[in-house]
Every structure is written in C-alpha cells, then in structure tokens.
Amino acid sequence: LLASLGVACHGGGAMASGEDCASEGAMSESSRGRGAAPRVDVEAELLWKVKKLALGEDLKQFGPNGPPMNILEHCPVSDCLWVMAGLALHRLPVADVESLARRGPDAGARTFASLPLGHARANRLRCGAMAGQPVAVVVTEAGDVRVVPTTDDDLRVAASMKTGRRHKRVSTWGIAVAAHAGEASGGIVAVSANNGCAKAWLVDPRPDPRTGRQAWPVRPGGYDYCYTAAIKHEQNVPCIDIANGKLISASLDGTLRLAEFAASGGGIAAVGRGELPVFACDEALWGACWIPLRSVRTYSPASPPASQAAQWLSQGVALPEDILLTSVWPFLDTQTLARQVQPLSAAHARLLADEMEMRAEHRKELFAFCFSDTTAWLLDEDLQPCAMLELPFSATFAHIAYDRESSVVVMATKLCPEPSPAGALWAICLLRRKGSMRCHMEAHAIRYDFPESRLRPASAVLGMCVAPGGRVFSLLASRRLACHRLSVRMRE
C-alpha cells in the first residue's frame, strides 16, 4: 500500500525496531529484556455473597452431557442478572440481590420472576443485543434456541429457532450475539452444536401495528430453514462469538475458524467461503471471544529519542506530521501502522507510541482470544498469534467473559483435578505495547474461600459473567452467588 502511493518516509534519530506479530507468541513470556511488558497485580475484592439462591431447582443434577457451559449472565441495560436454572429462566435485579445479601443468611428466601422455556436442559445462556434491542439467548441439549427481551416488564419468548430439522435433537452449546457495549452485528444470532456446524439467523425486531408490542420476525423461518455459516468443523463446537459481522468458532478438532456475514435477500449469508484464515493447534479448543483492540491496556516501551519530525515525501512534496495524523494514517489499518510504519524511524515510533491513532474512536480492529486445555492465545484478525500463555490450570470445559474496563479475560474452570478455592476463577490480563501489535498475557487466581470449596459437584462454577465497574458475578452448583470487584495495577 505504501509503495503504491509513491511515498518515501523519513524521520530523524535511530531506527526503531519493528515487531513481527507472528514471532511474538511466547516471547513476551520467556523474554523480559528491553521493552518487555511490566508485571501486573490483580486484586479481587468480595463485595457480597448470597449463600443459597431460591431458584426452585437443584443445580447439582447434571444431564448426560455434563455440566452446562454457563447459566449466569448480566444485562447492563436492565441491570439484572439472568439465571437459567433447570427448565426456567430467572430474572434477578442486581439491587434486590445485593439487598438480600446485605441482610445476611437470616433474611429468608426471595423469589424472582421466572419464565419456563420447555422440557430440555440449557447448555448456555448469553445476553447481548439484536438490532439495538437487549436480549437473553438460551440454547439447550435438544437444539432449542430461545430469544427473550430483557427490558420487557413481562417475561416472554420473542423468537424461537431450532438447530436441527424438525424433531432431530442436536445438543447446542455456543451462542454469538452482538455485545451491548458495542460492535454492531445487526440482528444476527448464531449458535453452534455437537454436529460441528455454526448456524445463523437474522432477527429483525420491529413494532407490530396490530398489537402495539414489539414483533420479532426470524429470517428465514426458524424451524425449517437457516443459514449455515462458512464454518464446518470435524468435531463439537463449544463456543462462538461475533463482532462487526465476523464470526469465530472454537472447536474440539483444534481449529479456530472465521466467517463473515452480509445481507442477502432479506436475510444473511456467509461470504468468503474457503478464503478466510484458520488457526490450528494440537489440542482441543474450548472457547474464543473477540477483543476490541482499542480496549486492551497498553504499556510504554523504552523508546530512543527522535530529534526530527516524521515526514513523508510524495513527488518532492513533504507531508508534515499534522497531515500524516489527520489525512493519511486514519486510512491505514493498525497492522500496517504497527508493522510497516512504526519501524521506519524513531520519529514514526514516537508518534505511534502516543496511541492517538491506534486507539481512535473510528478504529474497529479486533483481537481474537482462544484457549485449549493448557494454553491461551491472543490472535490478530488474520488469526496470527500475537501472544501465547501456558495456563497454570486445566481449562477443560471452561467458560470466559471479557471485561473491557480492566482488559481482563475472566475464566471459570469446572474440571480442575484438585478442587480449590484458589483455582475456580482466573483473571488473564491482556497488555499491548504502545504503537505495536506485540502483546503480553498473565494469569492470576481470583481467590474465593467458601465452605463447599472442596466438595463436588457443589463447588462447580456453573455461571460467571462480568458487569460494569469491574464486577464479576459467579454462581456455584450449590446456588451460592458472589460478586467480586476486580482491580488491575501495572507495577512501576
């Protein structure tokens, strides 16, 4: 791109070293020389806990597929917790739950609004937004997909789909829906199942002039037809995520695949079949999520001084720094800035280290986070590794949630060989070097001591979610609900 513009780039001072994203991987973990990332400290303060929620179900009774992946979510619009317990979805206003916790164990049971959702157990619950409307989506062991608006006074199922044809049961595990905070993906909802497929629908909420209520038409018909994404794995797909119309899927076959969606005939269709990148490893992948690049915490490297301003020469005309910042660099993607522009000189490195362009509001670039039983990776949008971390615990069947405020991926484990209050929840801190795509990750245990910590299955973390203010909610199989506040500090 730079060569096609006929531009020569100049700047004073010593040449700045560039970073090759593909070679960084574990380097940030094994090498702590010049420019290495600082260490971080993570504190998890227990704000409150409820010993036993009145959910009307025994959460310790698992189905033939084992424990659910996640049954607890938070909707920031309604500020409610949503719990899928047994065959019913429960709505718990955070203020009411916190008040119950403050009154202590003698406050008595409190019942909350609930909605029956059929005869199959839920595998996963997820909150998000469809065309700007906040929703909770539930998938079950029978392949049922239920969409429930989270801001309606009366709980109701607004849209229903099924991953299998008619009466065929396909245990469904993954849900992808646009995040509340952000990246618009229209009304797309996608799910993944044991058959190795990810399928998607377009849900288009709009006012119904006949009833005055919001109607939720599904395109195409939810039960008989659906779009199959450009993703087909060889094994189960336990986790998917979507942002900016891009879907990633993590499979037990050891691959992370990508699909992109576009409008087609009133619905959606996958584009770029066979042309999109694939990340592969030697272990089963259990989870993945998109990470907005501009949300990742940054650190400053030791940069050489730049004695002159950066200039670009085009046909003998010098473009000064202010023109570069306002009229050239906004049209280059972050990978071009970090890999081709930053290494040109110390002057260019200095400008990019200010992060004004790479963290600008218009930037929509993403990282992809994925993990296996023993390893976590942070990938760029081409699914090339930017960082790798050997996990100090078993991540089999784990569930993740990303907290943008603290730049932390919170992971809830389920099948650790040694049950321990220090090993149920983990915080994986993400750092990126300013002006670069070089990243660093660290894992810290969220220590939480509770009486049933060494009892199985009572101590299994069946639900975990994050909320604004650095809050992390966790729900055990014993029905114990807790709220922690995360704080992350980089060491000097």
Task: Write out pLDDT tens, residues 74-133.
Answer: 999 999 999 998 889 999 999 999 998 888 755 445 668 899 988 888 999 999 998 788
Distance CA 183, CA 134 (A): 14
Q: Give burial (CB, 10 Å; 0-12/13-18/19+) of 83.
A: buried
Can you give the pLDDT at residue 299?
85
Distance CA 155, CA 151 (A): 9
Give how far the C-alpha of residue 306 lies from the chain's centroid of Cα atoms, to the nearest Å. 38
Can you give the pLDDT at residue 201?
86
Distance CA 322, CA 367 (A): 29
Q: Position of tokens 């531009």?
A: 7
Question: Are the CB atoms for 196 and 235 separated by under 8 Å?
Answer: yes
Can you give the pLDDT at residue 9?
43
C-alpha dihedral over 96, 408, 391, 301, to 10 degrees? -160
Question: Are the CB atoms for 263 and 271 separated by under 8 Å?
Answer: no
Reported as a pLDDT band with limits 50, 70 and 90, residue 28 is very low
Q: Position of tokens 């646009």?
A: 178
Question: Are the CB atoms for 287 and 239 separated by under 8 Å?
Answer: yes
**Which residue(s) pair with 4 in the sheet?**
none
Phi and psi angles of residue 93, each rounded to the nearest 5 degrees, phi first: -60, 130
Retrieve residue 197's tokens: 């497929």
Cis preceding linkage at 468, omega within 30: no
- 215 vs 369, which has greater pLDDT? 369
List the alpha helices (DSSP H) in 303-343.
Answer: 321-323, 334-336
Retrieve residue 282's tokens: 């030697």
Highest mean pLDDT among 178-182, 285-289, 347-351: 285-289
Q: Position of tokens 């789909």?
A: 161
Instruction: State the DSSP code for 342.
Output: G
Distance CA 40, CA 431 (A): 9
Retrieve residue 18's tokens: 């560039």
How would you list the strands of the sheet with 133-140, edge to edge? 122-130, 133-140, 144-149, 159-162
Mean pLDDT of 437-450: 87
**Which residue(s) pair with 149 in the sheet?**
135
Greatest Cα-to-Cα distance within the chain, rounded to the nearest angstrom: 80
- Strand-pair category, 408-412 with 40-50: unpaired
Q: CB neighbours (10 Å) of residue 2?
A: 15
Can you give the pLDDT at residue 343?
65
Task: Write out pLDDT tens, residues 189-208.
Answer: 899 999 898 888 888 788 77
Retrieve residue 101's tokens: 């916790």
Neighbouring residues of 235: CB distance < 8 A, sequence distance ≥ 6: 196, 251, 252, 253, 284
Nearest CA among 449, 400, 399 for reference residue 422 = 449
Task: Write out pLDDT tens, residues 321-343.
Answer: 777 767 776 777 777 777 667 66
Task: Write out pLDDT tens, residues 131-163.
Answer: 788 999 999 998 999 999 998 888 999 988 888
> Which of 126-135, 173-182, 371-380 bottoms out in mean pLDDT, i.e. has the lowest?
173-182
Question: Nearest 5 degrees, angle CA 16-CA 18-CA 21?
Answer: 160
Q: SS3 for 412?
A: strand
Average pLDDT, the chain: 79
Phi and psi angles of residue 144, each rounded to the nearest 5 degrees, phi first: -75, 145
Retrieve residue 158's tokens: 């607004």
Can you give the pLDDT at residue 268?
67
Retrieve residue 145's tokens: 């997909």
Instruction: State the DSSP code for 63.
Output: B
- Strand-pair category, 425-433 with 408-412: antiparallel
Can you give the pLDDT at residue 80?
95
